[in-house]
């Protein structure tokens, strides 16, 4: 796939994502009702949950592409894994900053070392380690393989993070959408707003990740050009 | 002048930056009487949460764009891996 095509794909998804985000903001600030117990601060939910969803999606893609890279040794899979991991770190940072802001008001404390929060923070640091390993390895190929293994192992935390609130009930709310027994327990207006948020964030994520993939493509081209240039001496 | 077609990141950055301004008027839908009775603290939390989200995304896009430009101009693009 050419760089121009990659950029255009990113652009199209980005425009759709930005349109989705505009609709989301209208829904959040002018349409959906205010939650009775927590009040206006509950509106952080519409940025916190979509960012959490995208973080898990990103780390899942990193694991899948990393595993496929270990098997097939196709550089493009490594580019995709690396791009998704970077996206996971950014959306993870959004999740890890919006959550404590909400908690500071709703719980009276921004952070507690309860299982879901602790595991989520641990997962974020594991994927930070993904980049540290790549950057610090003297042998670039070995670094990529080690990072792929870390990506696969790190993604094992995703289901643990999800079930942690079921196994160890704490301050963090139980799932309100992926509720196996009762189905979604959210008010219908809130559910619609959340779904728009999930879609918009997913589009934005794929747009920027494809754009980031283009950077790796460009680096590859640059490396080829540099290698092919005749030596001056 | 370089065309927008060759700089999609500029268009996306501008669109995302516009969202910051859009996220600000959280209190616009609430009447002033109600506002006077409430603490503005939760409004600040909402404003900060949304602003941080868009700042992080815009920052990430800006970072990718900067690395791309570095490569296009013959640099290394600050290779991180």
Per-residue confidence (pLDDT) for residue B81, from 0 to 100: 40
Nearest CB to B46 within list A30, A44, A143: A44
Tens digits of residue pLDDT in A72-90:
999 999 999 999 999 999 9
Per-residue confidence (pLDDT) for residue A225, from 0 to 100: 81
Per-residue confidence (pLDDT) for residue A21, from 0 to 100: 95
Query: Minimal CA–CA distance to A152: which of A168, A130, A122, A173?
Result: A130
State the Cα–Cα distance between residues A29 and A44, nearest whole angstrom: 11
- Please give the average per-residue pLDDT across A162-178, as a whole number: 77
Pick the more confident residue, A107 or A48. A48
- Please give the average per-residue pLDDT across A89-110, as a whole number: 93
B42 touches chain A (CB under 8 A): yes
- Contacts with B52 from chain A: Cβ below 8 Å: 94, 97-98, 101
Per-residue confidence (pLDDT) for residue A186, from 0 to 100: 78
Helices assigned H by DSSP within chain A: 3-26, 45-72, 75-106, 115-136, 140-155, 157-167, 188-228
Is residue A39 classed as helix, strand or coil in its secondary structure? strand
Confidence tier at B74 by pLDDT (50, 70, 90):
confident
Tens digits of residue pLDDT in B7-56:
666 665 676 566 555 554 444 454 555 555 567 888 999 999 999 999 99
Nearest CB to A212 within list B16, B25, B64: B64
Tens digits of residue pLDDT in A5-29:
888 999 999 999 999 999 999 999 9
Yes or no, beta carbons of A131 and B81 under 8 Å apart: yes
Yes or no, beta carbons of A219 and B12 under 8 Å apart: no
Query: Minimal CA–CA distance to B20: which of B43, B46, B54?
Result: B54
A208 has a pLDDT exceeding 90: yes
Our CA dihedral for A22, A88, B57, A74, rounded to 10 degrees, sits at -100
Per-residue confidence (pLDDT) for residue B22, from 0 to 100: 54
* Mutate which: B8, B58, B73, B80, vs A, most A CBs within 10 A: B8
**Summary mean pLDDT of chain A:** 90
Yes or no, beta carbons of A29 and B72 under 8 Å apart: no
Confidence tier at A221 by pLDDT (50, 70, 90):
confident
B77 near A219, Cβ under 8 Å?
yes
With a CB cutoff of 8 Å and minimum separation 6, the contacts of A160 are A119
B12 touches chain A (CB under 8 A): yes
Pick the more confident residue, A112 or A179. A112
Confidence tier at A233 by pLDDT (50, 70, 90):
very low
Nearest CB to A131 within list B8, B60, B80: B80
Give the B window 50-79 contacts with A, CB below 8 Å: 50, 52-53, 56-57, 60-61, 64, 67-68, 71-72, 77, 79
Per-residue confidence (pLDDT) for residue A25, from 0 to 100: 95
Say how many CA atoms lie within 13 Å of A190 toward its Cβ.
18
Pairs of CB atoms within 8 A across A/B: 115
- Contacts with A86 from chain B: Cβ below 8 Å: 60
State the Cα–Cα distance between residues A175 and B71, nearest whole angstrom: 44
Range with lowest mean pLDDT among A120-134, A147-161, A167-181: A167-181
* Mutate which: B49, B50, B60, vs A, most A CBs within 10 A: B49
Yes or no, beta carbons of B67 and A215 under 8 Å apart: yes
Among chain B residues, CA nearest to A101: B45
């Amino acid at each position: 796939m050419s760089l121009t095509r990659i950029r255009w794909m990113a652009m199209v998804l980005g425009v759709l994502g930005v349109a989705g985000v505009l609709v989301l903001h209208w829904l959040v600030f002018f349409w959906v009702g205010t939650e009775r117990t927590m009040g206006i601060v509950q509106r952080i939910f519409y940025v916190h949950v979509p960012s959490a969803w995208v973080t898990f999606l990103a780390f899942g893609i990193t694991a899948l592409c990393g595993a496929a890279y270990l098997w097939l040794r196709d550089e493009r899979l490594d580019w995709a894994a690396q791009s998704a991991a970077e996206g996971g770190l950014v959306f993870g940072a959004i999740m890890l900053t919006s959550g404590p802001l909400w908690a500071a008001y709703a719980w009276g404390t921004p952070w507690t070392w309860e299982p879901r929060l602790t595991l989520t923070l641990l997962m974020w640091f594991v994927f930070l380690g993904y980049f540290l390993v790549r950057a610090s390895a003297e042998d670039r190929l070995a670094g990529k393989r080690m990072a792929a293994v870390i990506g696969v192992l790190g993604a094992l935390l995703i289901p643990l993070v999800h079930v942690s609130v079921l196994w160890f009930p704490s301050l963090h709310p139980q799932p309100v959408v992926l509720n196996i027994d009762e189905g979604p327990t959210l008010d219908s207006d809130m559910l619609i707003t959340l779904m728009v948020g999930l879609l918009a964030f997913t589009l934005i994520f794929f747009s920027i990740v494809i754009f980031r993939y283009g950077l790796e493509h460009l680096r590859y081209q640059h490396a080829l050009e540099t290698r092919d240039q005749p030596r001056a001496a | 002048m370089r065309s927008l077609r060759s700089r999609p990141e500029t268009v996306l950055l501008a669109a995302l930056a516009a969202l910051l301004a859009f996220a600000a008027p959280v209190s616009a839908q609430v009447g002033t009487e109600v506002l006077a009775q409430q603490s503005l603290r939760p409004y600040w939390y909402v404003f900060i949460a949304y602003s941080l989200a868009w700042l992080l995304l815009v920052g990430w896009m800006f970072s990718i764009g900067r690395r791309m430009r570095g490569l296009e101009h013959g640099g290394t693009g600050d290779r991180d891996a």
